[in-house]
Chain A
């Protein structure tokens, strides 16, 4: 129960930050790909600088989690094609729908009924990948 409450709290926090930072706004994503504002680059960049620093310190000092477990980040499998091809396909969708998987949920909560169409599409895309993944270069 306590852990579930922690996940819920983190999710609420995430949803608020996505909305209030305007990272969930279609306009901000468009503006980012037009290179006409520092806003989105500042968000991702500053998250990244702190992320790299924090992960480095966690590894260096073998920091344990709140529950006393070693903190581990599972590395992704080595490959090029799946990340490049998959990444490009994702980028096309990110720019078109103006939202990535996290903000989809934020926008549902914000009350945009039409974002449910994006969610249905995303579930369909995930299902399609599961069906044909063995035929794709990975």
Chain B
């Protein structure tokens, strides 16, 4: 049973993600995580400012329960099912990241300078996290879904809109890492 404490390979994780999508379909729901952000805005009273948030958010409570589960799952994954949180990324990737100023890339689960507590002492790190979040929230709602709704659920249903969105995800990601990272870091 030691394998469970090791990182799970893609051929285990991928099929499990498909299983999650099917489990949701079999309880009459659709896999999509970013719509929870809209629900949270609605709960916070955003419906008074924009009619986009004036909907019956209670119909989306089920997905907030999935969110709660994902938080619990993250806790269990990190603190119960993992002994060594390092990530075995490609040595070439480690070298490139070191060139950008990321020390010990892959030695931790997330880069310390962005996600360690030291991030709170750097305005630049806070702006990167805030800006990244802003793009995620704005883009996923504009595109009508994120990785789960488009790349997994939508493409599984062979939807052209999802293919366009996923191509967009990759254009954005490649532009960020290859063109903007050298300017940001």
Contact = CB atoms under 8 A, between A and B. Distances in A.
Contact of A123 (B78, B137, B142, B147): B137
Interface of B: 7-18, 20-30, 33-34, 36-38, 40-41, 44, 46, 49-50, 52-53, 62-63, 65-79, 81-82, 87, 89-90, 92-93, 96-97, 105-106, 109-111, 114-117, 119-120, 125-126, 128-148, 150-162, 164-178, 180, 184
Interface in A18-60: 18-34, 36-48, 50-52, 54-55, 58
Nearest to A117: B129
A82 B142 contact: yes
Contact of B143 (A39, A66, A82): A82
A9 to B, nearest CB: 7
A25 B168 CA distance: 21
A123 B143 contact: no
Main secondary structure of the interface of B (DSSP, over half): helix
> Which 10 pairs across A and B sit closest by C-beta, in order of nearness?
A11-B69, A87-B168, A15-B73, A91-B172, A121-B133, A125-B137, A97-B132, A93-B135, A109-B74, A86-B143
A38 B166 CA distance: 17
A44 to B, nearest CB: 6
A13 B73 contact: yes
Interface in A87-138: 87-102, 104-115, 117-131, 133, 136
Contacts of A128: 134, 137-138
A8 B143 CA distance: 27
Contact of A16 (B52, B77, B129, B176): B77
Contacts of A55: 156-158
B127 to A, nearest CB: 9
A93 B139 contact: yes
- Chain A CB count within 10 A is highest, among B138, B146, B160, for B138
A11 B173 contact: no
A43 B17 contact: yes
Contact of A15 (B41, B76, B134, B160): B76
